[in-house]
Amino acid sequence: MDHTIKKHILTLQGFYLFAFFGVGSLFPLLSVYLSEVEQLSGYQIGTIMSIGPITMIFFQPIWGIICDVTSKPAKVLSIATAVAGVFGIGYVFLHEYLWLIAIAVMIAIFQSAIIPVSDSIALKYTSKVRVNYGNIRLFGSLGFGVAVFVMGHLSEGWMGPRVIFYAFFLSLLIASLLALHAPKEKASTAVNIKSGMKELLTMKKFLLFLAITFLVFGPNLANNTYFGLFVEDSGGTYTGIGIAFMIAVLSEIPFMRVAGNLIARIGLLPIATLAGIASLVRWIFYFTEPSLWLVYSSAVIQGLSIGLFIPAGLQYIKEITPSCITVTAITVYAAIGNGLGNWFSTFAGGLVYDSFNIYGVYLFFAALSLLGVVLSFWLMKLEKETLTFRQVQES
């Protein structure tokens, strides 16, 4: 491999490692910090934690436009990453509820640039030099998983839980410096969602899969907010929370690697349905108030659910939409799952947590996932009927 290419690949891998280490340092343990240290209610925690997903819907296209106008995505990525880290330190000094909301908003605005801009740079560069993008993106999962484990352990040390904010700042600062040396690829993250929207809204399969994504994927992302509280309520310490998160996140890697072969053998929708069933089983199991060691053991189910749903869902969207509107379709799909579904599950989960307890949150997640699985079977039936109709027409 050419020395310059190797250097750029290592730079991108380093960026993903530190950027996701920062995210993994803060967000999985933030809900526990807000509950224990700041003494906030479930409603208040849910509000703060749901700000990021809803902000993503509005600000990601804006960052795309900024990158296109400036033609300097690496510089934009570097600045946004550094500023997000700086605002993270605000949690150390400000403790009023409204100030905490303001901090969450500012972090979300700048953090919303990190994934789309870095993915745009990495995807374009890896396609040009014929390198597997997955070998770069895996460093993000690695960084996230290791961060939660390390921060869980350090939170019990002399610095206490506030160490997560310093780790967030330092990690994003390093990632910001690495971004300056990223390949100078022109990003094209800005997408006109309105173009092709009319056609998408007439596609029954597309709308059904959006609903499935909302119901299945939303709770999986919202689990990042409540899993720490769940492990704590099950008797786990900060270190225990870190161990559970590390097992869950790192388990995604092997499932993502075998997803392609499973999809080729079984099909896209059956794999997506299997992922939904895995999520349903996990949430019901958590509702039964299992012992801590069973929580650790069952965390690998996250690999089966998220590790399979992400590649299957993205590929299914590409398959059922015309190539001329695929980018718009994927943008809408991401907004529904990562944005709206995540926000709704996080916010509503906070209300449930306030009215009942953490186990009630997982019963709520189970109810959403059950609806998603039912819709998945309905969509598979619709696909089968469409295939049968085409075969009859052709014969």
**Six-digit token pair at 4?**
């310059």
Residues 185 and 198 both lie in one domain: no
Q: Which of 190, 213, 232 is the last residue of a domain?
A: 190
Write the CATH number for 390: 1.20.1250.20
Q: Tell the residue number behind the tokens 């730079």, with chain if given.
A: 11
pTM (2 d.p.) = 0.76
DSSP 3-state of 206: helix
Output the pLDDT for position 261.
79
Query: What are residue 188's phi and psi, to 5 degrees?
Result: -135, 50
Judgement on whether residues 131 and 149 belong to the same structural domain of the protein:
yes
* Burial class of residue 162, CB neighbours in 10 A (0-12, 13-18, 19+): middle
What pLDDT, on the 0 to 100 scale, is given for residue 189? 47
- Residues 362 and 287 occupy one common structural domain: yes
CA distance 89 to 171: 12
181 in the same domain as 93: yes
Amino acid at 227: F
Same-domain status, 208 and 143: no
Region for residue 31 given its phi and psi (left: phi exceeds 0; alpha: psi -120 to 50; beta: otherwise): alpha
Cβ neighbors of 16 (< 8 A, separation 6 or more) are 118, 122, 136, 137, 139, 140, 143
The answer to whether 222 and 51 are in contact (CB under 8 A) is no
Residue 108 and residue 225 in one domain: no
Q: Which two tokens stand for residue 47?
A: 């509000």
Regarding whether 178 and 285 lie in a shared domain, the answer is no
Range of 214's domain?
192-395
The whole-number pLDDT of residue 390 equals 67
**What pLDDT does 120 receive?**
76
Place of tokens 């590790």: 307
Residues 289 and 317 in one domain: yes
Number of structural domains the chain divides into = 2
Same domain, 39 and 17: yes
Residues 6 or more apart in contact with residue 72 via CB below 8 angstroms: 184
213 and 160 fall within a common domain:
no
> Last residue of some domain: 190, 224, 250?
190
At 186 the pLDDT is: 57
DSSP, collapsed to helix, strand or coil, labels residue 40 as coil
Cβ-based neighbours of 161, under 8 Å, separated by 6 or more: 29, 32, 33, 36, 37, 155, 238
CB atoms within 10 A of CB 207: 12
Same domain, residue pair 266 and 310: yes
**Are 101 and 170 contained in the same domain?**
yes
**pLDDT by residue, tens only, the chain of 395 residues:** 677 888 999 999 999 999 999 999 998 889 889 988 899 888 898 888 888 888 877 887 778 778 777 888 899 999 999 999 999 999 999 999 999 999 999 999 999 888 878 877 887 787 788 776 667 877 888 898 889 889 988 888 777 889 999 999 999 999 999 999 988 765 444 455 566 667 788 889 999 999 999 999 999 989 988 898 899 888 888 788 888 888 888 888 888 777 777 888 898 899 999 999 999 999 999 999 999 999 999 989 998 898 888 878 877 887 888 877 766 677 678 778 878 898 899 889 989 998 989 999 999 999 999 999 999 999 999 888 877 766 666 66
Out of 160, 190, 220, pick the residue that ends a domain: 190
